[in-house]
């Protein structure tokens, strides 16, 4: 099926992961070297949503989180929210979380296979980092009117932390798979 239908249980899972995104915003935002885009644990939420829920449900949970944020709830790290953040320097990263979670899910669940650690790590690297940066960095450059090259260099500050998030998301995903495989609901 090209587009999946969700059951009630799926809706519950989607809401849980939207809530996890909100919780990951609670520790706050760190901005290094006067950057326009914060370092936040929420990028790991997008990795986990795709890895555990799969592409459609994972991406939908991020959309639910973003709709609530757009509506004005202060769910982004540092207690931010509202329509303004969707035209700000981090707008592309927010969109990137949706596509990124989808790509993580496609890779982790490749052809309906169960999660294994290396595909989970690869999925988080490609979907959770490469895809998110590929959308986020050009939008950041456009919004801040900074040359793309300089924006790419400024985004390097995210790499060490995001690599740690890949490792952590992989460990959490594999532990959850062993302890509670029903959370994944492979079809």
Ligand X SMILES: O=C(O)CCCC[C@@H]1SC[C@@H]2NC(=O)N[C@@H]21
Question: What residues line the site for ligand X (CB under 6 A)?
Answer: 37-40, 43, 76-77, 85, 90, 93-94, 132, 136, 158, 161-162
Residue 12 vs 159, nearer CB to ligand X: 159
Smallest distance from ligand X to CB 29, Å:
6
CA distance 179 to 95: 31
CB-nearer residue toward ligand X: 44 or 53: 44
- The whole-angstrom separation of Cα 58 and Cα 51 is 8
How far apart are CB 168 and ligand X at their closest, in Å? 13
Beta bridge partners of residue 76, listed in sequence order: 80
Question: Which residue lies nearer to ligand X by CB, 11 or 30?
Answer: 30
Residue 15 or 164 having the CB closest to ligand X: 164
Residue placing its CB nearer to ligand X in the complex, 11 or 122: 122
User: Which residues lie closer than 8 Å to 126 by C-beta, 6 or more apart?
Assistant: 103, 104, 107
**Nearest-CB residue to ligand X?**
90
Q: Which residues contact 157 (CB under 8 A, 6 or more apart)?
A: 32, 33, 35, 39
Closest approach, Cβ 78 to ligand X, in A, equals 7
User: By C-beta, is 74 or 174 nearer to ligand X?
Assistant: 74
What is the closest distance, in whole angstroms, from the C-beta atom of residue 172 to ligand X in the complex? 17
- Smallest gap from residue 156 Cβ to ligand X (A): 11
For residues 8 and 28, what is the distance between their CA atoms, to the nearest angstrom? Answer: 32
Minimum separation from the CB atom of position 115 to ligand X (A): 22
Angle at 19 between CA 57 and CA 25, to 5 degrees: 115
């Amino acid at each position: 099926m090209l587009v999946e239908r969700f059951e009630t249980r799926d809706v519950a899972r989607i809401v849980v992961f939207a809530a996890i995104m909100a919780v990951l915003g609670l520790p706050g935002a760190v901005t290094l070297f006067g950057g326009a885009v914060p370092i936040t644990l929420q990028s790991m939420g997008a990795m986990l949503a795709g890895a555990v829920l799969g592409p459609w449900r994972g991406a939908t949970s991020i959309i639910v989180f973003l709709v609530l944020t757009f509506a004005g709830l202060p769910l982004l790290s540092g207690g931010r929210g509202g329509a303004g953040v969707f035209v700000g320097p981090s707008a592309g990263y927010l969109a990137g979380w949706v596509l990124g979670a989808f790509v993580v899910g496609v890779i982790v669940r490749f052809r309906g296979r169960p999660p294994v650690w290396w595909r989970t790590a690869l999925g988080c690297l490609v979907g959770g980092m490469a895809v998110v940066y590929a959308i986020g960095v050009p939008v950041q450059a456009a919004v801040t009117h900074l040359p793309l090259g300089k924006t790419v260099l400024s985004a390097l500050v995210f790499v060490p932390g995001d690599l740690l998030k890949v490792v952590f998301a992989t460990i959490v995903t594999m532990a959850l798979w062993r302890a509670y495989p029903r959370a994944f609901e492979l079809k």
